[in-house]
Amino acid sequence: MKLTIAILPGDGIGPEIMKQGLAVLEAIAKKFNHEFIYNEAICGAHAIREVGDPFPEQTFKTCMKADAVLFAAVGDPQFDNDPTAKVRPEQGLLAMRKKLGLFANIRPVATFDCLLHKSPLKEELLRGADFIVIRELTGGMYFGEKYQDNNKAYDTDIYTRPEIERILKVAFEYAMKRNKHLTVVDKANVLASSRLWRQIAKEMEPLYPEVTTDYMFIDNAAMRVLTEPRYFDVIVTENTFGDILTDETSCITGSMGLQPSSSLGEHTPLFEPVHGSWPQAAGKNLANPIAQILSAAMLLEHFRLNREGKLIRQAVDASLEANIRTPEIQVEGGGNYGTTEVGQWIVDWINNQ
């Protein structure tokens, strides 16, 4: 298969983990005779420094022309600590999501048996937990009308029927492909926007009679994902709730550095780690490349390259089993492996199959 992939390494640890993601893609291309064409583009803090825009027009064009986008992370303390900054790297991420119409963010939550002890949660609760969170990504408070002066500020949590219907459709369809259990997470006891979500979900339920649909308030869901993670199969929720919930669910996996995601919608699909740019670790060969590598696997699987995706997943499992791990998940007395060594080990493993 021939695929054109827009490469957006971004800031902080982004370029280092992207390098490993690309090395893995190249190993796969060689083994399976694919042709992947990579078009690199700038975004985030370094795009602000270079051209004054965190998601420049040129980058947008590169994304639109590609079959898929592989993204790493954006963010920089220089902007976080400056309340007067007019543009911030995160605005680039939001602009990218909006302009590419990426309304459905798929964040899988799975465990690795050999890492169960790394989670702060009890092993017996976690074993076998496997669900996905579908986060609406282009609506709600993130994009609703905002206002701020010295005495008053607000954000508007706005959703329209078509926005809700299209994300729920994605969620019902995922549930059909998985274990046919959908949990709609909202705050319908307080928020009007949530009540509309719930109303529309109930209207759609009869279209998917095989799916067991239930409803849960976000505060309860925030507790249940930790106390009973095996209960869930597919969760669907609005932008802000999904943002918070998926940081929380990363502790089920054991490290933020292991969680990939995909964002799908109207234009080019995008694949990225759930974690951020970890600026403190930039250039130190410390960051775990696995979330980026698994994002590449999700990219391939999106194009039905399932054998390729599976081989990457097997390589990642093998690296974890062999204790070839970055420091945050390394066992006591285990070897010292950085971003490059873990990535290279995974590439070698693939080459040897």
Q: Give the residue numbers annotated as catalytic, written as ranges.
A: 142, 187, 219, 243, 247
Residue nearest to ligand IPM (CB): 90
204 binds, among ligand IPM, Mn ion, none (CB under 5 to 8 A by kind): none
11 binds, among ligand IPM, Mn ion, none (CB under 5 to 8 A by kind): none
Nearer to ligand IPM, 23 or 109 (CB): 109
CB of 126 within 8 A of CB of 120?
no
Q: Are 198 and 188 in contact (CB under 8 A)?
A: yes
Torsion over CA: 163, 168, 171, 177 (sign): negative
The token duo for 34 is 């694919």
Tell me how far, at minimum, the Cβ of 28 lies from Mn ion, in Å.
28
Chosen from Mn ion, ligand IPM, none, partner binding at 90 (C-beta under 5 to 8 Å by type)? ligand IPM
Question: Contact at 8 Å (CB) between 329 and 319?
Answer: no
Least gap, CB of 205 to ligand IPM (angstroms): 28
Report what 93 binds from Mn ion, ligand IPM, none; CB cut-off 5-8 Å by kind.
ligand IPM
Does the footprint of Mn ion cover residue 248 (CB under 5 A)? no
CB of 246 to Mn ion, least distance (A): 6
* Residue among 26 and 243 whose Cβ is closer to Mn ion: 243
Q: Least distance to ligand IPM from the beta carbon of 276, Å?
A: 6
CB of 251 to ligand IPM, least distance (A): 15
- Which of 254/276 has CB closer to ligand IPM? 276
Distances (CA, A) of 218 to 1, 68, 296, 304: 42, 32, 30, 33
Spell out the alpha helix ranges (H) of the chain. Answer: 14-32, 45-51, 57-65, 77-80, 89-99, 123-126, 161-177, 192-204, 218-227, 239-253, 290-302, 306-321, 339-351
Site for Mn ion in 45-84 (CB under 5 A): none
CB neighbourhood size of 335 (10 A): 11
250/319 with CB nearer Mn ion = 250
DSSP single-letter state for residue 163: H
Residue whose tokens read 């060969």? 285
Please tell me whether residue 264 adopts helix, strand or coil conformation: strand
Considering the complex, state which of residue 167 and residue 315 has its C-beta at the smaller distance from ligand IPM: 167
**Total binding residues toward Mn ion, as defined by CB under 5 A:** 1
Encoded tokens for 55: 């998601």
Q: Does 243 bind Mn ion (CB under 5 A)?
A: yes
CB 340 within 8 A of CB 21: no
Could you tell which of ligand IPM, Mn ion, none binds residue 24, using a CB distance below 5 to 8 A set by kind? none
Residues that bind ligand IPM (CB under 6 A): 90, 93, 243, 276
Q: Which residues contact 35 (CB under 8 A, 6 or more apart)?
A: 1, 2, 3, 29
Residues making contact with Mn ion (CB under 5 A): 243
